[in-house]
Amino acid sequence: EKAGYKHFMQKEIHEQPRTVADTITGFSSSKDEKLFEMLKDTDRLYIIACGTSYHAALVGKFWIEKFAKIPVEVDYASEFRYRDRIIDDKTAVLGISQSGETADTRFALLDAKEEGAKTIGLVNVVGSSLSREADYVLYTYCGPEIGVAATKTFTAQLVALLLLALETGIKKGTTTYTDYEKIHEELLHLPSKIEQLLQKDEEIKEIAYRYMNASDFLFLGRNINYPIALEGALKLKEISYIHAEGYPAGEMKHGPIALIDEKMPVVCVIPQDRNYEKMLSNLQEVKARKGKVISVATEGDRQIKELSDEVIYIPKTSDYLYPALTVVPLQMLSYHIATLLGKDVDQPRNLAKTVTVE
Ligand code: M6R
């Protein structure tokens, strides 16, 4: 059942070219026009989720605000439930959950529904509680995810959120056809670009070997790749038990920079997008404090080599699509660090795949 892979997590990382492609196809073949009609009229969208799904939500916010021009607030479901949020009949709440059974997310969504919000679920498990409780449902088409660490469902959630943003944008007239087509075209190349990344398995394993004994890691990113820094840190801590923090790179000088010394690996998510220069100066700040820099950068970026201790190159894509690529080497890096340390990546201690208690 692991199809020749050592762990489910590894198998699931390697399934991503297919699950991304299936989610693109699945989205187009099951479009619910009523959902877009509803979103056209929505004044405020809350996205609620936990863990990795929460990180997908943070990326989704950028896309929905950009293409659909709906103000978005992202909340941890467990926080959303117990605060005074503002809900009226033009408010929609989108709950993202791989399992569709996470208690925090389900109950928060049900509460919002009762208060009059329109509810949408983005789930992987067909027929799950959340998919039955929400007014509208979107799916990721990944098949079962067995590894406790979410991997393939994260990239599929990203794809679904981007398509949701674009489709709403077109219906609402806030996105041009040219942009829509351009991004669609890039999306169709995503599976083969992920495939190229998966071929770097040995190279990433060697990097993992060089840093596996560090006791702390910092992950930095900016803008749409900031949530990827958070996701990279979560992946590492949950399966390797190494302490890791994700930070928006610009925030570093406001505190965390104090942590940096020659023992601290700092993973910089630095694709060549419009935040590149800013990210570069943050990277230089890390180097000036002798931190060990592991960069995830765009193929062809030569200067990054001189400034980093390690570089993992990713294929070039549109600025908006980078998160779906930058996350993949981070999944692979955590996987290798954890397995080299002899940890059980599919069943990490203290964790359950589905958390059905609040
Ligand atoms: O099934 P869900 O997407 O609702 O699960 C949410 C989190 O429990 C989940 O993403 C968790 O953080 C994973 N272990 C992350 O890899």
Q: Cβ of 93: how many Cβ atoms within 10 Å?
A: 30
Q: Is the pLDDT of residue 124 over 90?
A: yes
The DSSP code for 272 is S
User: If DSSP codes are grouped into helix, strand and coil, which group holds residue 310?
Assistant: strand
Residue 357 pLDDT: 86
Closest residue to atom 7 of ligand 1, CA basis: 51
Residue 223 near residue 66, CB atoms below 8 Å: no
Any atom of ligand 1 within 6 Å of the Cβ of 97: yes
Average pLDDT, rounded, for the chain: 96
> And the tokens for 110?
């049900």
Closest residue to atom 4 of ligand 1, CA basis: 97
Render the burial of 106-142: b for 16+ CB within 10 Å, e for the rest: bbbbbbbbeeebbbbbbbbbeebbbbebbbbbbbbbb
| ipTM of the modeled complex | 0.99
Q: Is the pLDDT of residue 358 over 90?
A: no
> And the tokens for 132?
């039955």
Q: Is the pLDDT of residue 1 over 90?
A: no
Quickly state the pLDDT bin for 311 (edges 50, 70, 90).
very high
Residue 208 pLDDT: 98
CA dist 299 and 108 (Å) reads: 42
Which residues lie below 8 Å from residue 220, measured CB to CB, with a gap of 6+?
Answer: 229, 246, 247, 248, 249, 252, 266, 267, 268, 269, 279, 282, 283, 286
pLDDT digits (tens, 9 = 90+) for 34-93: 999 999 999 999 999 999 999 999 999 999 999 999 999 999 999 999 999 999 999 999
* Model pTM score: 0.97
Q: Which of 50, 81, 148, 237 best tests ligand 1's pocket when mutated (most atoms within 8 Å of CB)? A: 50
Residue 70 pLDDT: 98
Span from the CA of 293 to the centroid of ligand 1 (angstroms): 28
pLDDT digits (tens, 9 = 90+) for 190-224: 999 999 999 999 999 999 999 999 999 999 999 99
**Catalytic, out of 205, 278, 343, 353:** 353
Quickly state the pLDDT bin for 296 (edges 50, 70, 90).
very high
Total count of residues recorded for the chain = 358
**H or E stretch covering 296:** strand 292-298
Span from the CA of 280 to the centroid of ligand 1 (angstroms): 31
Quickly state the pLDDT bin for 305 (edges 50, 70, 90).
very high
Residue 294 pLDDT: 98
Residue 71 pLDDT: 98
Residue 128 near residue 152, CB atoms below 8 Å: no
Quickly state the pLDDT bin for 352 (edges 50, 70, 90).
confident
Looking at the CA of residue 52, tell me the nearest atom of ligand 1: 10
Active site residue 182: no
The mean per-residue pLDDT over the stretch 109-133 comes to 97
Which residues lie below 8 Å from residue 98, measured CB to CB, with a gap of 6+?
Answer: 52, 53, 123, 124, 125, 140, 145, 150, 153, 157
Q: Which of 13, 74, 98, 99 best tests ligand 1's pocket when mutated (most atoms within 8 Å of CB)? A: 98
Span from the CA of 6 to the centroid of ligand 1 (angstroms): 22
Closest residue to atom 9 of ligand 1, CA basis: 51
